Amino acid sequence: MLFLRALRLSSIAAFVFTAVNYALFYWKGVPLVTEIVAEWIMARTPNYYAVVLLDTLGDWAKPFAATGGLAATGFVFFLLFFASLALRRAAPMPAPSPARREWLARAVPFVMMAGTAGVAVESWARDRAWARKAVEPVPLWPFQYPEERDQFAPGLVRKSVTSVDSFYGMSKNTVDPVLDPTSWRLKVTLDGRPWKEYSYSQLLALRRIQRYTTMRCVSNTLNSNLMGTAEWSGIFLRQLVDPAEVPSHISEIAFIGVDGHDDSLPAAYAFSDDLLLALGMNGMTLNRIHGFPFRLIAPKYYGFKSVKWMSEIRLCSQPYVGTWPKMGYTKEPVVHTMSYIDRIRRNGEQALAGGVAFAGIRGVSRVEVRAGKGPWVEAQLEAPISAFTWSRWKANLVIPEGAAVVEARAADGTGAWQATTESPLFPDGVKGPTIKRLS
């Protein structure tokens, strides 16, 4: 009885609270509690379950996450009402009338379903409405996919460059930002104090370079593939801030997005030629998903360092702790050496395997493959399209009797091999062997 009363009251309270919160959001821009909670949940959801939800629900995955925020809000109200009712239990209370009990019994399921559906539909509709307002990408430089490179094991290995539509897109947001390039400004601050400011047109007018770079998400498991290669166009930090003007006590550079996602890099690395401040991708200006109008590309690290929708570059004299490190992830998430098996073509006892290997800016020096517990065979490596991209490989194998899997391993540019023992994703990205079952 106590449980049901608390459930009924908390459901109605959560519905009313959420309705008021949404009204204030549209009226005064007050942040949505459901989205704050949902983004907290999404950032901590194990990758396997996140990928399943994304694959199953598609465009509805993030709206579904918003309903998790509603459920969490309802749970907090439930605990409050349950505790309150339990404390009042000793005191005599008038019993509710049968008509009121019946009304609550009928109303609560409707309130729960209506609230859940309403939050999901509102999140989806707002995302679609914002998407219609997003600036469509326009040509920024001449670009062609390097089709001649696709003669390397065609149909066996993924293409050397990933299309924009196929490039993975990850964020902590239930609804990603949409920015107006005419009013958007990039602020450069010194320990939080205003210093410089740039408009989008000013950034576009600077001399840009084009560079192929592979990005890999820290949320990869051994069996997922959140990774892609694109040609990015951008500028160096020194074009915005003269290193000679930087005070000697500055130790880190923080990059802050309009969505609240932020992270930092050592000042020396931030001013290096490795780092690119990107305005375009595969010949076009950035689209909304990939961080329009301005984003960071930090090839040494996993993707959460490469802040999107950038609004501020902050020069810091004290250590800066970004979004993911605040959750316990390492502050220096250097990309681990990993190999991936794209496909295996088997013909009796013979097989041809192919895939990619990536080790960040260290490069890949060698890939070896074996079937079952057979001998390791050195794979043929294609020269990478740039020093910042994956290396594609292929290998001929003899399949021993009883072999059920093919295993690959890669060595980085220093000769260090990828890990042979699986380690968890948290706190610095998953490591472990690469294994694919034979069919």
Going across the sheet that includes 310-316, the strands are 193-199, 185-190, 310-316, 252-257, 262-266
Every domain of the chain and the residues it spans: 2-133, 147-326, 338-437
Asked whether this chain's domains 147-326 and 338-437 adopt the same fold, the reply is: no
pLDDT tens, N- to C-terminus, the chain (439 residues)? 677 777 777 777 777 787 787 787 777 777 777 777 766 666 666 555 655 555 565 555 566 666 767 777 777 877 787 777 777 765 555 555 666 556 555 665 655 666 566 665 666 566 666 566 677 899 999 999 988 887 888 899 999 999 999 999 887 777 788 899 999 999 999 988 999 999 999 999 999 999 999 999 988 777 777 899 999 999 999 999 999 999 999 999 999 999 989 999 999 999 999 999 999 999 999 999 999 999 999 999 999 999 999 999 999 999 999 998 988 889 999 999 999 999 999 998 999 999 999 999 999 999 999 999 999 999 999 999 999 999 999 999 999 988 899 999 999 999 999 999 988 878 888 899 999 998 7
Alpha carbon distances (Å) from 1 to 10, 32, 370: 14, 32, 63
The pair of three-digit structure tokens given for residue 404, joined into one six-digit string: 């059920």
Tokens of 408: 């690959």
The three state secondary structure string of 67-78 is HHHHHHHHHHHH
* Domain 338-437 -> CATH class: mainly beta
d(CA 43, CA 41): 5
Q: Which of 353, 392, 338 is nearest to 229 (CA)?
A: 392
- Find all residues with CB under 8 Å of 182, minimum gap 6, and list them: 200
Contacts of residue 385, defined as CB under 8 A and 6 or more positions apart, other chains included, come to 146, 149, 160, 161, 212, 229
List the structure tokens of 134: 């997003």
Q: Which amino acid is at 178?
A: V
**Using a CB cutoff of 8 Å and minimum separation of 24, what contacts does 72-76 make?**
72/37, 72/41, 73/14, 73/17, 73/18, 73/33, 73/34, 73/37, 74/10, 74/11, 74/14, 74/112, 75/10
Closest CA to 227 of 176, 181, 152, 158: 158
Q: Cα separation of 12 and 109, whole Å?
A: 10
Tell me which H or E stretch contains 287.
none
Which CATH code fits 147-326? 3.90.420.10
In this structure, the strands spanning 209-216 and 227-235 are: antiparallel
**One-letter amino acid of 278:** A
Q: Mark residue 347 as left, alpha or beta (left: phi above 0; alpha: psi -120 to 50; beta: remaining).
A: beta
What's residue 14's pLDDT? Answer: 75
| CA–CA gap between residue 197 and residue 200 (Å, rounded) | 10
Q: Rounded CA gap, 264 and 69, in Å?
A: 28
Q: Cα(298)–Cα(217) distance, rounded to whole angstroms?
A: 12
* Residue 215 neighbours by CB distance under 10 Å: 27
- Residue 250, C-beta contacts closer than 8 angstroms, at least 6 positions apart: 190, 267, 315, 316, 317
Q: What DSSP character marks residue 251?
A: -
Query: What contacts 71, CB < 8 A, 6 or more positions away?
Result: 116
Q: What amino acid occupies position 376?
A: W
Local structure of residue 58 (DSSP, 8 states): G
Given a contact cutoff of 8 angstroms between Cβ atoms, the answer to whether 432 and 357 are in contact is no
